[in-house]
A and B are shown apart, each in its own frame.
Chain A
Amino acid sequence: MTEQNPMSNGGFAGGDPPHVCITCSDQLLRMVVERVDESGMIASGSIEGEPAEIGVDLIDGVAPGDILLCHGGVALQRVSEATGIELGL
């Protein structure tokens, strides 16, 4: 885990208490992909404005500009720009 990871606050996404436990809250966080590494398994981008790296093994053909919904360091869903805005994620 990297210190700059916005979710590295002990696994809490919310900052000051009462924080949100990323596991218990069952939450998905939105990442806009900026880069995909050569293996195609790691994408980097930003989550809540902070740099982050995410495993993208479970989503086919991830490319820069994609919006991914992520949990526990892994993308579980790709959404369209419109849906991303709708979600407010």
Chain B
Amino acid sequence: MKFADEFRDADIARALSQRIAGEAGDKHWKIMEVCGGHTHTIFKYGIEDLLPSNVELVHGPGCPVCVIPMGRLDDGIALAKRPEVIFTCFGDLMRVPGSDGSLLDAKAAGADVRMVYSPLDALKIARDNPDKKVVFYAIGFETTAPSTALTLLRAKAENLRNLFVFCNHVNIIPPMKAILDSPDLQLDGFLGPGHVSTVVGIRPYEFVTRTYNKPVVVVGFEPLDILQGVHMVIQQILQGRCEVENQYTRVVHDEGNPKALDVLGRVFQLRTQFEWRGLGFISQSGLELREEFDEWNAEKMFTVPGVRVADPKACQCGEVLKGVLKPWECKVFGTACTPETPIGTCMVSSEGACAAYYNFGRYSRARERERAMGANGNGNGNGAVKELKPIEVKAG
């Protein structure tokens, strides 16, 4: 395939879907997509409608905003409220409810909270505001951590002393292990994260095949990437293979990006343990700044509450993040908890399973009903349609 729309070709999607249905047989398959970006594509293009009902996609913990525990968020909000601080973070984080309001609430109350696209933007803000202390609240997996690492290396090279990083970067491998160790969920295989793998390559997933005997297929973000990934997982199992395969070869190299890995190693070290929302403390799952960067480390240079805070009682994000509950099975889904008034993190980011389900799922199900009645719906299952289209999202 050469063009983007070919990765949305409805004829190929139908052919793949038929092959999956034919080969899946009667067994109930559970395949976890680890990455929030995949969850988004699955809902956006109605991929679940193209799969037989016995092939279940389970949504994983790969949404960085979703896995931030409330205590760490409260720490960030406490930093943001300091009068000498300009607090910078990525957009979605601003709406995540802490135990006493969100960063947006803190901003409304007068805190200097600024959304940035890149930590390098925080570096610029620090340069431009030498009389202020600029804190960057770093979150994200291995795709995002290199930009924080480069920012710190530049700050150090410039001896810029008014930039501080509150580091919440996490690694994708340890939660996969935690999920595999959990008795709650019996998975058949994984769709591995595409762009994390641009940095780490595909070898870090080998423990999943070696120790747990589950196949991993690293996949891209177009609808046909996902369908092909599902097919590759099923084929591996039916053929008695268990490997890490790379469906996304057009972007992901087996060895990742060695320069990015080198930069990560120079700036970060593994924390002994880090708390994940819903998954608890997972050993060696988070990154912290190396000692050489103590003067840029917000955790060392400021006092934060550092208190572990339990999630609201009604919130079942933990079960959703582990794939044990479907979003709509949470008691407050779509009622007390909506994207406008989120109770849990999974409803904040559009890559969170609850927000994705809320925004797209209801239409996907409506389409299924329409199709059963012979109507044309979104067209993803209609033989006359040539390209899979995103499902239209409507408010409410």
Chain A residues with Cβ below 8 Å from B393 are: 17-18
Cβ of B263 and Cβ of A57 under 8 Å apart? yes
Cα distance, A9 to B144, chains bound together (Å): 18
| Residues B65 and A23 in contact, CB atoms below 8 Å apart | yes
The CA of A85 and the CA of B1, in the complex, are separated in Å by 10
- A77, B201: Cα distance in complex, Å: 12
Cross-chain contact of B91 among A21, A28, A59 (Cβ < 8 A): A21
CB closest residue in chain B, given A24: B351
Shortest Cβ distance from B340 into A: residue: A17
Closest to A80 in B: B250
In the complex, chain B residues whose CB is within 8 Å of the CB of A58: 146, 150, 257, 259-260, 263
Q: A58-B259, A73-B119, A73-B147 are in contact. Are A86 and B90 (CB under 8 A)?
A: no
Contact residues on B (Cβ < 8 Å of other chain), bracket:
35 or more
- Scoring B residues 1 to 40 as 1 if CB is less than 8 Å from chain A, else 0, what string do you get? 1111101000000000000000000000000000111001
Provide the residues of chain B in CB contact with A24, threshold 8 Å: 36-37, 63-66, 92, 349-352
Residue B175, interface by CB 8 Å = no
Partner pick for B118 among A20, A26, A72, CB 8 A cutoff: A72
Asked if A72 and B351 make an inter-chain contact with CB atoms under 8 angstroms apart, the answer reads no
B216 adjacent to chain A (CB < 8 Å):
no
Whether the Cβ atoms of B120 and A71 lie closer than 8 Å is no
Residues of A close to B66: CB separation below 8 A: 24
Q: Which residue of A lies closest to B35 (CB)?
A: A26
Interface residues on A, range: 35 or more
A39 to chain B, nearest CB (A): 10
**A1→B86 CA distance, assembly (Å):** 14
- A23 interface neighbour in B92, B94, B199, B260, Cβ under 8 Å: B92
Question: Are B144 and A86 neighbours in the complex by a CB distance under 8 Å?
Answer: no
Residues of chain A lying within 8 A (CB to CB) of residue B120: 55, 73-74
Structural contact, B119 and A28, CB atoms closer than 8 A: no
Closest to B359 in A: A18
The answer to whether residues A20 and B351 also contact, given A77-B251, A87-B4 and a CB cut-off of 8 A, is: yes
Do A26 and B150 have beta carbons less than 8 Å apart? no
Question: Is B213 engaged at the interface, CB distance under 8 Å to the other chain?
Answer: no
For A38, what are the chain B residues with a Cβ–Cβ distance below 8 Å? none
Contacts of B351 in A (CB 8 A): 20-21, 24-26
Residue numbers in B under 8 Å from A22 (CB-CB): 90-91, 117
22 contacting pairs across A/B (C-beta < 8 A): A1-B114, A1-B124, A10-B94, A11-B115, A11-B117, A12-B92, A17-B339, A17-B393, A20-B40, A20-B351, A21-B350, A23-B90, A23-B140, A24-B351, A26-B351, A28-B143, A72-B140, A77-B251, A85-B3, A86-B4, A86-B250, A87-B251
On A, residues with C-beta under 8 Å from B are 1-2, 5, 7-12, 14, 17-28, 55, 57-60, 69, 71-74, 76-77, 79, 82-83, 85-89
